[in-house]
Amino acid sequence: MPTPLSTASSRDRIAQARVVVTSPTRNFVTLVVTTEDGTVGIGDATLNGRELAVAAYLDEHLVPLLVGRDAGRIEDTWQYLYRGAYWRGGPVGMSALAAVDTALWDIKAKRADLPLHQLLGGRSRDKVRVYGHATGETIEETVADVGRLIDLGYTAVRAQTAVPGGTGTYGVSRPGEIYDPAHGSLPEETVWDTRSYLTHVPRLFEALRDTYGFEIALLHDVHHRLTPIEAARLGASLEPYDLFWIEDPTPAEDQTAFRLIRQHTRTPIATGEVLSSVHSVQTLITERLVDYVRTTVTHAGGLTHLRRIFDLAHLYGVRSGSHGATDLSPVCLGAAVHLDTAIPNFGIQEYMAHSALTDSVFPHSYRFADGYLHVGEDPGHGVHLDEEKAAEHPYSPAYLPVARLADGSVHDW
């Protein structure tokens, strides 16, 4: 027996765990766990641009530890794989651990014949408010794209536009494609111009408020590209346009930088999509330096650890705003919608609809209507993997772009 604590009857034990890598539109890594009684649970382990590192971490180091364990001991398994690793944390390790955790919650809920949110305390709300993505090469194009999302029923929209003087795809979809910046077997190199950006972005939001008024919630993502004082200036210059948030104004790992931003602007701040541990958001939360924390199921150690982060945030009046880009699989989104439905301090959920092909490989019971995601009532998290279809779409290398300044030096992308 792998653990002397195991009191599980044989039917409760994990019989098998397998990693499935598939690329229906983009790459996804999924862990499929099966118990001796035939219950199947799945978890997302996708880490954009580093997919195979997580797949190997699972295949080589976690799967051998899972077989024979009691599938019901979710917390113990989490601690065993986290503390037991000695080299704990990090995005690769936490994404792998998240997939195990999510699959075990899926199994527990299926065996209880309950939708997952019932095991997380039940509903705190009827539906989950989401924001969608609008992009454009020009301000006019972005304004039109925001209109498209309003027509689809969204009550909140993230707006990005290409910046004069820069090059590359920053924040802008390729024609006719869902926004997904990861492409190619080598990273695309883009040029970034902070000064142009800081003057251009307020013009975008002025045009959006002139066109659509103040009812629609507007968000903007800075992708870690500013210094604290530049971020302070951006926040102040956007105050007349009443943004829902600015996201990742400075590199998220420098928690105390947010003190300076906070001193200079009342524009709400969200950060944390690249962070994977409660320890990485502790100062941000306890000093109330952000309004929304963007950690999500896949990159932050699964439902067990994300709940811990959101509970800490709740103590300090900070709300959730989980990352939900298309590089997180429908398995992540499905699990996130259960947590969003259950927690008291939900803020908003990012939602970029996956392609029809992705959805056909991952059939799911959550659904979008009128600007909200509605959690399903199927047992478990309600997301499934069609392995035959998945096998038709093998892994295809894709990297996020790299940004450089005009002088050639590397900048944050």
The binding site for ligand EZ4 (CB under 6 A) comprises 48, 181, 221, 223, 273, 323, 325, 327, 350, 400
Where does this chain touch Co ion (CB under 5 A) — which range of 21-29, 269-277, 313-321, 398-406? 269-277
Task: Return the number of the residue (108 or 224) whose C-beta is nearest ligand EZ4.
Answer: 224
Which positions from 95 to 114 touch Co ion by CB under 5 A, shown as an x/- string?
--------------------
Task: Quote the least distance from Cβ 374 to ligand EZ4, whole Å.
Answer: 22
Residue the block writes with tokens 């009827």: 126
Residues in contact with Co ion, total (CB under 5 A)? 2
Return the number of the residue (327 or 378) whose C-beta is nearest ligand EZ4: 327
User: Among ligand EZ4, Co ion, none, what does residue 304 contact (CB within 5–8 Å per kind)?
Assistant: none
CB 212 within 8 A of CB 187: no
154 given a catalytic annotation = no
Residue 340 interface partner, choices ligand EZ4, Co ion, none, CB cut-off 5-8 Å depending on type: none
Sign of CA dihedral 159, 164, 170, 176: positive
CB of 367 to ligand EZ4, least distance (A): 22
Residues 273-302 that bind Co ion (CB under 5 A): 273
What's the rounded Cα separation, in Å, for the pair 69 and 175?
Answer: 48
Burial of 214 (0-12, 13-18, 19+ CB in 10 A): exposed
Residue 139 Cβ, how far from Co ion at the closest point, in Å?
A: 20
- Report CA torsion sign: 204, 402, 296, 355: positive
Where does this chain touch Co ion (CB under 5 A) — which range of 144-152, 155-163, 217-225, 375-383? 217-225
Of residues 43 and 321, the one with the C-beta less far from ligand EZ4: 321
- Phi, psi at 347, each rounded to 5°: -110, -65
Between the alpha carbon of residue 336 and those of residues 10, 95, 207, 260, 381, the distances in Å are 30, 14, 33, 31, 9
Which one, 106 or 221, has the nearer CB to ligand EZ4? 221
Q: Which amino acid is at 253?
A: E
Q: Is 223 a catalytic residue?
A: yes
Question: Which residue, 133 or 338, has its beta carbon nearer to Co ion?
Answer: 133
Q: How far is CA 41 from CA 178, 263, 326, in A?
A: 28, 46, 21
> Are the C-beta atoms of residues 42 and 30 closer than 8 Å to each other?
yes
Active-site hit among 170, 197, 241, 351: 170
Residue from 223, 323, 354, 384 carrying the catalytic annotation: 223
**Residues in CB range of 191: below 8 A, 6 or more apart:** 165, 166, 167, 168, 403, 404, 405, 406
- Indicate whether 221 belongs to the interface with Co ion (CB under 5 A): yes
Positions marked active-site: 170, 223
